[in-house]
Chain A
Amino acid sequence: MSVLNVYERTLTSASASSFEEKMATMFHWDGWESIDAPLLTSLIVMVILAILGIIIGVKARIGLKKKTYLKKPKGIMFLAEIYYNTCNNFAVSNMGEERITWGGYFWTLLAYLFLAFTISLFAFPSLVDWLACPLCLAIIMFTIIQVKGIKYSKFGYFKRFTEPIFIFLPINLVTFWAPLISTTMRMFGNALSGTILIGLIQWVLGNLSSNIFVSMGIAGTIQTSAAWSVFWNQPWTWTSIFLSPIPVGILQIYFSLFSGFIQTLVFASLSAIWISQEMPSGASEKKEAGVEQAMVKE
């Protein structure tokens, strides 16, 4: 939840061009400065995950070839196996026994989302309070829900819009979008609230610190470069950085690690519940029907 980010975005939103101008310059390459910083963060997260995945895959293949996979796993393989089992158990406990293959979805989702929340601890621009990131994740989830709904309930999928009677069609069309909007806004708002709280506290503590120095008779030279005027385009001095680091660091850890972990878990369990709603547990139902038929025959 970088504070610099908010500052830069307020600057750009103040001088935002019209929609037509944006569309005209959409496919024009303006150099690296024109790319949104969170987009680069997202790419860095993906690169980190890809490198980890390649390392684990190569190690697993070597282990398979040398027959060392029967021994106790060590190091990164140990962590990878724990993570794999956790994701599979998550899928089984939320979606049912026969959905164990959905562990792969949660593998990707949980890793990307948790790293996206925590990457701002390493001084990268914050990713989740950039609306495109939660929106894209929610669109993926929403698409999976609708595709599974059409695949499993065929024409019953379209029938649900007119239930209980036909007059409910407009209301049902509105509630149709509820999962998309609610998941997007939940993650985006959570990350943004963290950003704003941290920014406010940094601003207040910076002013307090510089006022203490002023009361002692030290004014300090005013810095107006972008790196120094951190919040609301305010000129800062070197005297204003003495109180904020520890409270801001604690808040960063809270909003990135704790809140990020909880939001990741909430997103994953909600998508698991919504997806498994669309997929009736076919295997167990067939088994029960078979048992009933067998009993009838007897």
Chain B
Amino acid sequence: MDAGLCALGAGIAVGLGSLCSIGEGLVCSHAIDGMARNPEMVGQLRSNMIVAVALCESTAIYSLVVAILIIFLMGMPALAA
């Protein structure tokens, strides 16, 4: 297997995974809308927002794990060979 193709695959995986930032932006914007409408709920909304953002982020992290697997399991042997 070509090491360059492995690098390309890892890059594509991380690049597509970073699309989850759109979802994070939606979560944050709606949470801030809610905070502006309902200022006495700020604390609860903020903690919920952080949890929801971390949940959205997990899809990006999956793609990162896949990229790392590609690099270390396929790319490194290809480089060594």
Structural contact, B54 and A189, CB atoms closer than 8 A: no
Given contacts A189-B62, A190-B61, are A265 and B68 in contact (CB under 8 A)? Answer: no
B64 interface residue per 8 A CB criterion: yes
Q: Which residues of B have CB within 8 Å of A10?
A: 72, 76
Q: Which residues of A have CB within 8 Å of B68?
A: 192, 196
Closest to B62 in A: A185
Q: Tell me the complex Cα distance, A10–B77, Å.
A: 12
Q: Tell me the complex Cα distance, A189–B59, Å.
A: 10
Q: Tell me the complex Cα distance, A263–B76, Å.
A: 30
Closest to A259 in B: B54
Instruction: Give 1 or 0 for each of B41-77: 1 = CB within 8 Å of chain A CB.
Output: 0000001001100110110011011001000100010
A59 interface residue per 8 A CB criterion: no
B22 interface residue per 8 A CB criterion: no
**Which of A185, A269, A270 sits near B65, CB closer than 8 Å?**
A185
Instruction: Give 1 or 0 for each of A247-267: 1 = CB within 8 Å of chain B CB.
Output: 000000000000000110110
Structural contact, A189 and B50, CB atoms closer than 8 A: no
The tally of residues in A whose CB lies under 8 Å from a CB in B reads 18
Closest to A189 in B: B61
CB distance from A65 to the nearest CB of B (A): 39
Q: Which residues of B have CB within 8 Å of A182?
A: 58
B1 interface residue per 8 A CB criterion: no
CB distance from B15 to the nearest CB of A (A): 15
Structural contact, A13 and B72, CB atoms closer than 8 A: yes
Q: Which residues of A have CB within 8 Å of B62?
A: 185-186, 189
Q: Which residues of B have CB within 8 Å of A265?
A: 47, 50-51, 54
CB distance from A210 to the nearest CB of B (A): 24
**Which of B47, B64, B76 sits near A193, CB closer than 8 Å?**
B64
B80 interface residue per 8 A CB criterion: yes
Residues of B within 8 A of A (CB): 47, 50-51, 54-55, 57-58, 61-62, 64-65, 68, 72, 76, 80
Residues of A within 8 A of B (CB): 10, 13-14, 182, 185-186, 188-190, 192-193, 196, 262-263, 265-266, 269-270
